[in-house]
Amino acid sequence: MREVDEAVRQDEVSTFARKYGLALGVGLVLAIAAFGGFLLWQSRTESQLEAASEQLTAALDELEAGNLDIADDELTAVAAGDSQAAAAIATLLRGGIAMEQGRGAEAVTLFAAIANDDDLPSELRDLGAIRLMGAQFDNVSPQVVIDRLGPIAVPGNAYYGSAGELVAFAYLAQEKPAEAGPLLVAIAKDDNVPQSIRARTRQLAGLLGFDAIEDVEETIAEMGGAEVAGGDTAAGPAAPAPNPAPAANSE
């Protein structure tokens, strides 16, 4: 019986091998080849990212040193590379250089390329849209700014402060302080918004008659005022007049 069982098993294995052996062998070879290809792709991608990172770092060093033309050349090379994220960042930086050098039309083109690229992550597209609206603020209707940045100017968005500030200025351009004021107050009270933007929006809200101050002592300290001694303080920090042409801020 044992000999019969072994013969039956051998026959089953032999039949299975004849029927499926070739397919299994081909599948195994393809799997090994695919895994090898993935390892090569991963290695190549990491090398590209490292190279792009080094180029971006070098360009930022040139920017910090004030060498805008050299930085622009280096960023152009990064933007032409294979790393999509690095190319997008380089394009945004090139747009900033163009703005700095008075080449507004070129800056708009560069920012629009990022804002309208559906293949990019939403964070990069949103940043491109903010820079684009900041660059075009004086040349488009306020409603265009509101429509474009309104979906970004919501609590929880990484660029809530920057987008919301521009939307508030657009409301003011439409002579709608009732819409701008509450938005400015909300931004000023949001702990996730950068302090520089919170300070600006708090002061502008105050000029419009909206109180965005929750802690007087903390507000005075943030504005660089004298350290408060004792328990009595005078509320109401003097806020500068709002700039009718807001700068394009990015967080």
Domain ranges for the chain, please list them.
Answer: 52-120, 140-251
Nearest to 240 by CA among 188, 211, 182, 199: 199
Which fold is adopted by the domain 52-120? 1.25.40
Mean of the per-residue pLDDT values of the chain: 78
Distance CA 172, CA 142 (A): 9
Which has the higher per-residue pLDDT, 229 or 8? 8
Lowest mean pLDDT among 2-16, 156-170, 218-232: 218-232
> How far apart, in whole angstroms, are the C-alpha atoms of residue 54 and residue 84?
15
* 142 or 232, which is more confident: 142
* Helices then strands, each counted (H, E), the chain: 10, 0
Side-chain half-sphere CA neighbours of 197 within 13 A? 26
pLDDT for res 176: 95
Residue 45's pLDDT is 55
**pLDDT (0 to 100) of residue 56:** 80
> What HEC string does 99-155 produce?
HHCCCHHHHHHHHHHHHCCCCCCHHHHHHHHHHHHHHHHHHCCHHHHHHHHCCCCCC
CA-to-CA distance for 215 and 157, rounded, in angstroms? 25
Query: How far is C-alpha 151 from the geometric centre of its chain's CA atoms?
Result: 14
Quick: pLDDT tens for 117-135: 999 999 999 999 999 999 9
Of residues 231 and 48, more confidence is placed in: 48
Closest CA to 59 of 41, 77, 84, 44: 77
Amino acid of residue 113: A
So what's the pLDDT on residue 239? 38
Range scoring the smallest mean pLDDT among 18-22, 83-87, 120-124, 182-186: 18-22
Instruction: Evaluate whether 162 touches 131 at the Cβ level (below 8 Å).
Output: no
Confidence band for 228, pLDDT divided at 50, 70 and 90:
very low
What span, in angstroms and rounded, lies between the C-alpha atoms of 189 and 181? 12
Alpha carbons 19 and 14: distance in angstroms, whole number: 9
pLDDT of residue 226: 33
pLDDT for 201: 93
Distance CA 205, CA 197 (A): 12
Flag the least confident range among 72-76, 105-109, 150-154, 221-225: 221-225
What is the Cα–Cα distance from 165 to 188, expressed in whole angstroms? Answer: 10
Angle at 97 between CA 188 and CA 173, to 5 degrees: 40
Q: How far is CA 191 from the centre of its chain?
A: 19
Residue 243 confidence (pLDDT): 43
Higher pLDDT, 165 or 223: 165
- pTM recorded for the entire structure: 0.66
**45-59, 62-76, 148-162: least confidently modelled range:** 45-59
Average pLDDT for 151-174: 95
Residue 213 has pLDDT above 90, yes or no: no
Amino acid at the residue 23? A
- How far is it, in rounded angstroms, from Cα 33 to Cα 26? 10
Q: What percent of the chain has pLDDT over 70?
A: 64
Rounded to an integer, the average pLDDT of 186-193 is 93
